[in-house]
Amino acid sequence: MIIAAADGSALGNPGPAGWAWYVDDDRWAAGGWKHSTNNVGELTAVLELFRATAHLDDELLVQCDSQYVINSVTKWMPGWKRKGWRKADGKPVMNVEILKEIDAELVGRRYRFEWVKGHVGHPMNEAADQRARAAAEAFRSGLPVPTGPGWSGGEPTDRESDEASSVDLDDDADADGVDRDADDVPATLFDLDEAPDAWQTLTVELSTEEHERLVQRARAAGLSPEEFLRGLI
């Protein structure tokens, strides 16, 4: 089982805001915005945690001090979906786009949430809170945001960003289970008659699973799927 804390922070609420998830000092991530809310930070921390661990089969225990987040994900979301993402009074659900993304990430995952009281010295909650607040303060001060090493570990980095996530891609196995390096792709696959400096259009058909793998790898590299494909080619 993976035990992780997820937290958000907003200076002013709304104001400069941050999010963070934390497993240990080698596996954590953070990010934020110049202007957002605490709830957005809390939800985004959960979303980014599920994204960062999407490649794993372990059960995920999410420690969270926001009952709004826990209730949204575990109690209210099924009813909101049935009503077209509207509440019982017919009003639109707040933060619906993030909730939809979380809903998509939950498919096939084994997880549970645990409520912990915030700001009482809970070690993992405090670690996530400190990192979320550091991101919010960085946006307020216009300083590089401490985004963390992500899931794969390594030295924490400071960069200006509105979002940060990481996926551990320690193998290059294709959908058929065969390990392939980008350099192992036959050169003839992309041989073109035109001059090398000319732009070419290449159409690639992907299955849903292959597309999801592409998106995850591109996200881990901080690139769009198109840019990631160009790098492979």
Among 18, 42, 148, 150, the active-site one is 42
The residue from 7, 31, 48, 105 that is catalytic is: 7
Beta bridge partners of 63: 5, 114
Residues 6+ apart with CB under 8 A from 12: none
Which position among 32, 41, 48, 129 bears the catalytic label?
Answer: 129
On whether the CB atoms of residues 95 and 47 are closer than 8 A, the answer is: no
Residue among 8, 32, 41, 148 flagged as catalytic: 8
For residues 79 and 71, is the Cβ–Cβ distance under 8 A? no
The residue from 65, 105, 148, 150 that is catalytic is 65
- At 101, phi and psi to the nearest 5? -65, -40
- 201 Cβ partners below 8 Å, 6+ apart? none
Tokens 């090493």 -> residue: 149
Answer yes or no: 122 catalytic. no
Q: Is 129 a catalytic residue?
A: yes
Is-catalytic flag, 35? no
Q: Which of 57, 119, 183, 194 is catalytic?
A: 119
Burial 137-148 (b: 16+ CB within 10 A, else e): bbbbeeeebbbb
CA–CA gap between residue 142 and residue 222 (Å, rounded):
21
Tokens 């000319």: give the residue. Answer: 198
CA angle (161, 214, 148) in 5-degree steps: 30
Is 168 among the catalytic positions?
Answer: no
Active site residues: 7-8, 42, 65, 119, 129
